[in-house]
Structure formats: C-alpha cells, structure tokens
Structure 1
Amino acid sequence: MDDKKVLKVGLDSAAPYPMHSDYAAGNFEGFEVDLLQAITTQLGLVVEYEVSLWSTILEKLFKGELDLICSAVTVTTSRQHILEFSNPYLYFRLCAVVGQDDSLGGLHHFKNKTIGVREATEAEKYVRAHFPGNNIVYAVTNKELYRKLQSGKIDLLVDDSPIAGGFLQKNNKLKIGMFLPKTDSSYAIAMRKGDVKLKKQFNETLSLLKENGTYQRIYKKWFSEIQF
C-alpha cells in the first residue's frame, strides 16, 4: 500500500468565518475545515492547504495548480463549464447588511446608496447587474468590507448570508437589512474539470456523512447561532 494521497486544497486568504478562520492565525477552524477533515479521513487522503487571494484562486484550480477548493465557492453555470463540483454542502442566499439604526424595505431603498462588495464574488456580479447606476466600493477581504460599513464609507454591503451571519455574531452595530430576492445559492467543493473519480468519491462520502449524522453534528457546531 502506497502513502496516502495528498490533496492540494486552495483556501481563501480572507477567512470568511464561520466557513473557516484565518489559516495564519494558528487556531485554524471552521465548518469547511471540519467537513473536509471528515471527508478526507473517510477516504484516507491527506489535505495540504495553499492560501491564495480569492481573485486568483479559481484560476489556480483551473490551471491545475490545486486539486480542489473548499472555501465558500458558489456553484454557478459559468463555473460548471470549466470546473467539476461536488454535490452542494450548504444552501444560502445573498443579503444586504446595514447599520443597526438603518432599515431596508425593498430593493427600491438601494437607490442612491453606496454599496460595498468583495472583488470577484457573486455578490459583486449581483450588484453590478442590479444597481449599475450606484456607487460601488470594492474590498479585497471581508474584514475590510465590514470595516467600511462601520466607518460610514459605504451605506450597505452585499454578502453571502452565512458569512454575514458569522460577522454579525461578533458585531452588534450591524444587522441584515434584507435577504435579496431570487438569490438562492449553494456552496460545493470545486475540482478540476474531468476529475470525476474524485468527485464521485466526495459525493459518496458526503452522502455517508449525512446518513450517519456526522454532517449534522458539524453543521450544528458552526451554525446553531446563525440565521441564514
């Protein structure tokens, strides 16, 4: 029997907690960390993380520099053309985050507002498509994005609801103003196009973890306090 196969796993350096924390922080943890650990342990595989900026991470996978990404990757039709995706492991929506004293009654309230988003995300695509006339402010990391909102540099931000939930757990000055209509989305593990054997193994293991209760335990550990 040869040594365990090592998987090179791409990781978003911006640490979208509670999906995962900052890899450099020493206390690396999160929902995706536990889930990937459970899957790879079952398959006898070893994970080797490679930290990268979100704006370059999908390109690295496409070029074959990584084996997979388990870091809040939204499944989209365009991405499915160039990558393989496992079955989804989390369903969510996009949401708008505002200050505690602000309110949003609907999309018409976005008019003339300065909106913050992270670069190269589905949230950015959504904002550009729906609010082309608005002033859009870009951030490289989630931390920077939420800081801009707190300091008044932007009026609201658009983000994935689990990530927003993680930030709001630690910040009572901000809140979810509204969930955005028709933005039902899912995260899945992204792999290189044609890597169907690995995809099949991951899907089978994901099903097994849901059947034996492991998935539910991991989910409860990280999301029992978060509404999304």
Structure 2
Amino acid sequence: MKRVLKVGIDSAAPFPMHTDYNSSIFEGFEVDLLKVIAEHLDLEVHYEVSLWKNILKQLYKGELDMICSAVTMTASRQRILEFSEPYLQFRLCAVVKDNEHLYETANFKNKIIGVRVATEAEKYIMDQFPNYILVHADTNKELYEQLLKGKIDVLIDDSPIAGGFLKKHPSLKIGLFLPDTDSHYAIAMRKGDVKLKNEINEVLRAMKKSGTYQNIFTKWFTQIQL
C-alpha cells in the first residue's frame, strides 16, 4: 500500500509553480516535480489547499506532511522545519506598468508598494523601507489587479511568479530586481522527518543527473526571467 502524504499548496495558485487546484487543469513546475518524486518513492499525494498566511503554521502543527508551493528556504524557517535541497533559484523583483521606470530602490520613495501577507517579500520591504506606504494583500492576483487599476504604484514579488503574471499582462514589466535577494525554493517538511527529506533529496539528485529536472524546467521557464 502506498504511503499517503498530505501536501500543502497555496490557494492563490502562483503560476507557473502551479495552477488552481480546483480548476479543470491542475499543472505547473512543482506539480510535475512532485509527480516524479511520488512515482520514485511510491507515494500517493493528497493536496491540501490553504491561504499562504496559514500554510506554514499548518505544517508546523502537523496538519500537513509537506509543502511544495514556492516555499523560500530561510535560516529562521530551517530552525523549525526540514527542507529538501533547493529546486529553484530566484530573486525578488519590483513589478510596474510598462511606461514606468525604476532605476534603483530609492525610486520607491513616495510610491505605494504592494506586498503579499506573510511572505519574504513583505519582510524584505518592511525591513528595508519601514516608513514607506505599503498595501498588504492575501493573494498575488489581488496585487496585480491593484497595479493594473493604478491603486498601487509597484508590487514586490518572487521572479518566477512575476514571470507567470507578466505573460498574462503584457502592460506590466519587471522594473528592477532587488539587490541581495537571491533565494531558493525547497520542499518543506515537519521537523524530524529526516528520512523523508533524504529520500526526496536522492530523487532530486537523480532527476538532475538524468536530465528529467532540466526537461521540466525548460517546459515551464523558457520564457521567464529568473
């Protein structure tokens, strides 16, 4: 009998990482990645959809077995969770309308900045620019809609997710990549799940060695600037 894993994913569907689980077509980079991992380890994946602001707490409390949904690996999170080896490198970026220009972060002054609740992007902006005007939202979609309507001037997002939204909204662009924000996504697991972590790492290494990982990466990120 296959081992069942409850895998948390973000209900906001940060494409191209994954689409809306409740839509007719559920797909994305992480979906393909986890499918290969599950096949190799003879696992049965049950997805649990949650708002991002709740999902890490659910994992910590044991309500989920893992999260494979654009989780940034950070030192503080590593103290309370297990992480696989990284599977994607990215940067934080500032998204603006196509006719706007950003040359440096000093240009954020007097602009209304949109950030997503409980993200590393929110933490970065609050740390670096504590006195700036911020708008907080639960989903990326809300932020992009507010930017398109002119309710905010700039939004801060992870570069892979920004790339997915920019394919839908050609009137927007990445104004600049934020300095010193090179980061990695990894699969998050409950603290102490070392055996599972090691098994997943073995599969990830095998995927990279065989070319399977590169094929999945090319499928989803050929036209996205990371």
TM over 0.5: yes
Q: TM-score range by the shorter chain?
A: over 0.9
Q: CA deviation at 1:130?
A: 1.0
Measure, in 2, the Cα distance between the counterparts of 1:44 and 1:24: 24
Q: Which residue of the partner structure matches residue 92 of structure 1?
A: 90
Counterparts of residues 56-67 of structure 1 (less than 5 Å): 56-67=54-65
- Is 1:35 the counterpart of 2:66? The answer is no
Deviations 1:41-63 (A, max 9, x none): 01111100000110010000000
Find the partner of 2:111 among 110, 113, 120: 113
**Whole-Å Cα distance in 2 between the matches of residues 50 and 79 of structure 1?**
20
Amino acid at match of 2:70: A
Deviation at 1:131, TM superposition (A): 1.1
2:101 to 95, 103, 112: 103
Aligned with 1:48: secondary structure? strand
Q: Quote the Cα distance in structure 2 between the aligned partners of 1:11 and 1:206.
A: 19
Paired residue secondary structure (1:163) = helix
Match of 2:3 in 1: 5
**Aligned residue type for 1:63:** K
Alignment correspondent of 1:134: 132
Distance 1:14 1:115 in 2: 19
Distance 1:90 1:110 in 2: 28
In structure 2, distance between residues paired with 1:153 and 1:125: 21
Equivalence map 1:4-83=2 (5 Å): 4-83=2-81
Q: For each residue in 1:70-97, what CA deviation from the matched residue of structure 2 results, as whole angstroms up to 9, or x when unmatched?
A: 0000001110000000000000000000
- The aligned counterpart of 1:173 is 171
The Cα offsets for residues 117-157 of structure 1, whole Å up to 9 and x where unpaired, read as 11000000011011111110011111111001000010000
TM-score, length of structure 2 as denominator length: 0.99
**Which amino acid in 2 is paired with 1:82?**
I
Q: Distance in 1 between matches of 2:157 and 2:112?
A: 14
Aligned residue pairs total: 226
Q: How far apart are 1:69 and its partner, in Å?
A: 0.2
Runs of 4+ with deviation above 4 angstroms: none
**Equivalent position of 2:159 in the other structure:** 161
Q: TM-score, normalised by structure 1?
A: 0.98
Aligned to 1:178, the other structure's residue is in SS state: strand
Structure 2 unaligned residues grouped into runs of 5+? none
